Structure formats: C-alpha cells, structure tokens
Amino acid sequence: MAKRSTSIHATAYSLVDLQTATANFATYPDGKVLAVKKIDSSLFHGGKGEEFSAIISNISRVHHPSIAELFGYCSEQGHYLLIYEYFRNGSLHDFLHLSDDFSKPLTWNTRVGIALGTARAVDKKPKSEQSLVRWATPQLHDIDALSKIVDPALRGLYPPKSLSRFADVIALCV
C-alpha cells in the first residue's frame, strides 16, 4: 500500500491501491476495513484540486464523537476519494430500523440521547419549516448562519473561513 507524506492529518493513498477495493470497500493487510466515498469529479475541474486539498486538510482535523474520522484520501487522475474506517454496524437508519444483519437495537438511553441532540438542532429552526435538511441547506452558503448551527463543541477547532468548505462537503451528503 503506497502512502504519500503530506501536511494533511490523513493518509494519502494511490488510486491503484484504492482500485483494488471491491464494492467501495478494501481490507488491508493489517486487517483494517475501509469505506471509500467517491466525490463527483466535476466539482473540482479546472484546477480546483487545490480546493479538494484544502477541504481534506480541514476535515482531517475534525474530531467529534458524532462524526466518522477521515482515515485517508486520494486525488489522482481526476478522481477524488474520501476514505473512512468502515463501521460494520451500519447507519443510524439501520440501527433504528434493524435493516441489516449486523444491527443490534439501540438502548433507550442511546435513543433518547439521539432525540435530544436532534431536538436541540430542530429548536434552532423556524417553526414554519418542516424539514431540517430543507431549513439547513440554504444556510450552507451563508457563513454567519453556518456559524450559528455548528455544534458549539467544535467551535475554535477549525479556521472560520474553512466553514464554507465544510458546508460544500456537507451539501454533497444530503
């Protein structure tokens, strides 16, 4: 597995290594299983690879219990890939609805914690809005609005100007 050294706090993988992944997952000799997320390359055409590097630099510094940590990345030959450790237990939806073989029911304490976190976010949205995603999406491009909806536990852990770059990545996920 070829790794390149960078100032980014995540490992840079070669495209050749990642092409060996089957169905977007790779198991490496150390037994670690990684999930590979492909980013639409049209977002970074025309020399915007530097933007991808800046996004990776910022994402790689984010450490929060509710966010999967970036393990590595690849930006070669017009391909932009994010690499995360694969979590076998699936998504929150899988947990709540037991939609896969690996899920186990969440405890009621965990469910209440999730509900409280969601309620705190919903409390900040206008009462006229029905969808949290619909409410948040327009704010992803307003730096002042973004700074108000970011988890207070993350404040000061990122450069303020990078918040709009985070928002661009978030918009790709919703």
Q: Which residues are catalytic?
A: 142
Measured distance CA(65)–CA(67) in Å, rounded? 6
Packing angle, helices 163-173 and 49-59, rounded to 10:
100
Measured distance CA(122)–CA(166) in Å, rounded? 20
Contact 96, 34 (CB under 8 A): no
